[in-house]
Homo-oligomer: A and B are copies of this chain.
């Protein structure tokens, strides 16, 4: 089979790789129907994270089960499935609490930008659709593999409630999905911080009530103007830089909460958080805990997170998929094997 392999920063190739096989009795094999490039894949592409020799890459997919190990009971060959980027067994004490991202037997995979994938902990990780989806649903189902769950996690971690004012820092695919999540959870003021027209359009479609193009102190001042002068009840930080976190902490009101899904760098200003009663919570998304509900919302066409894909290419053009996102010509690239 063929798939994407990263050889070095800036060098992702489409090449022949061995067909995956069942290794553990809890494995499943999936024929990929659609896959995509993640913002976090760009860390290696941009040389921010180290590339340790030629490595299969990608962790988002939807597809059709082709084989299952002897212990797998919840999915079967022929099922159309989505899996979160962080495999979980869905049975351990943490999974039972809904903390599936921190599953005690949690695993991971890389190499989903490929024709076929081996999925560990298949029972816990994969969720099947009621039937084979119509083609127009596939981008939104694919988005459930990471970005929609991650945006949702930002909103859930911040505790978004009906009537809240919410500001979203970051206009990548995750930030846009966080806008969608906040609006769906009942926020009545949803502020997208973005200076890119195409992304602003998606944010508005997803339910943003206001667009703020300013950054830093001016951005904070604008959010306060829109929120009775006090700042937003919840701020969803979907970037991961120190600047973004300062933007988030500055934009939240006293007594409010920041949902954090950008991987943090730098220190937390704990004194400021404490005296302002500002909470902070977040981390890798509990995909498996969210998948059934979010899949139902996609299936019923209540939400359409697939709109984050503004570039579709054949998998063989994976190099261009990375380049387009790296150069911000695309929000997110979908790949058809």
Query: A98: nearest residue on chain B (CB-CB)?
Result: B255
CB pair A270–B271 under 8 Å, yes or no, is no
A273, chain B: closest CB distance, angstroms:
8
**Among B253, B255, B266, B284, contact of A275 (Cβ-Cβ < 8 Å):** B284
**Partner among B93, B260, B273 whose Cβ is within 8 Å of the Cβ of A230:** B93
How many angstroms from the CA of A93 to the CA of B230 in the assembled complex? 7
In whole angstroms, how far apart are the Cα atoms of A274 and B259 in the complex?
Answer: 10
Q: Which residues of chain B come closer than 8 Å to A283, judged between CB atoms?
A: 273-278
- Of the listed residues A228, A253, A281, A284, the one surrounded by the most CB atoms of chain B closer than 10 A to its CB is A281
Q: Is the CB of B254 within 8 A of A99?
A: yes
A229 within 8 A of B: yes
- 0/1 interface trace, chain A 256-282, chain B, CB 8 Å (1 if under): 110010011011101101111111111
CB of A233 within 8 A of CB of B97, answer: yes
Asked if A279 and B280 sit within 8 Å, CB to CB, the answer is yes
Q: How far is the CA of A142 from the CA of B101 in the complex (A)?
A: 44
Q: Are B276 and A102 in contact (CB under 8 A)?
A: yes
Q: A148 → chain B, closest Cβ, in Å? A: 18
**A 157-181 contacts with B by CB, 8 A:** 157, 159
Contact status of A264 and B255, CB under 8 A, knowing A229-B93, A280-B280, A284-B277: no
Bound CA–CA A311/B230 (angstroms): 42
Tell me which residues across on chain B come within 8 A of A263, comparing CB atoms: 274
Within 107-161 of A, Cβ neighbours of B (below 8 Å) are at 157, 159
How many copies of the shown chain assemble into the complex? 2
Q: Which residues of B contact A229 (CB under 8 A)?
A: 93
Instruction: Check if A94 is an interface residue, CB within 8 A of chain B.
Output: yes
Whether A89 is near chain B, meaning CB under 8 Å from some CB there, is no
Knowing A279-B281, A280-B281, A281-B281, the reply to whether A255 touches B102 (Cβ < 8 A) is: yes
State A271–B267 Cα separation when bound (angstroms). 9
CB distance A264 to B253 under 8 Å?
no
For the complex, is A286 an interface residue (Cβ under 8 Å from B)? yes
Q: Is the pair A277, B281 in contact by a Cβ cutoff of 8 Å? A: yes
Name the one of B94, B97, B268, B282 contacting A268, with C-beta atoms under 8 angstroms: B268
Which parts of A280-294 form the interface with B (CB within 8 Å)?
A: 280-284, 286
Known contacts: A267-B268, A279-B281, A280-B280. The answer to whether A97 contacts B274 by CB under 8 A is no
Complex: A260 Cα to B264 Cα, angstroms: 21
Residue of B nearest to A260 (CB): B274
A93-B228, A228-B93, A281-B279 in contact; A99/B255 too (CB < 8 A)?
yes
Are A274 and B282 also in contact (CB < 8 A) when A102-B255, A228-B93, A255-B97 are? yes
What mask results when residues 71 to 100 of chain A are scored 1 for a CB within 8 Å of chain B, else 0? 000000000000000000000011001110
- Selected from B94, B159, B228, B279, the residue in CB contact (under 8 A) with A255 is B94
Closest to A102 in B: B254
A selection of 6 A-B contacts at a CB cut-off of 8 Å is: A93-B229, A97-B233, A102-B277, A274-B282, A277-B286, A280-B280
Known pairs A93-B230, A273-B280 / 6 extra A-B pairs, C-beta < 8 Å: A157-B277, A260-B274, A274-B283, A276-B283, A277-B286, A281-B281
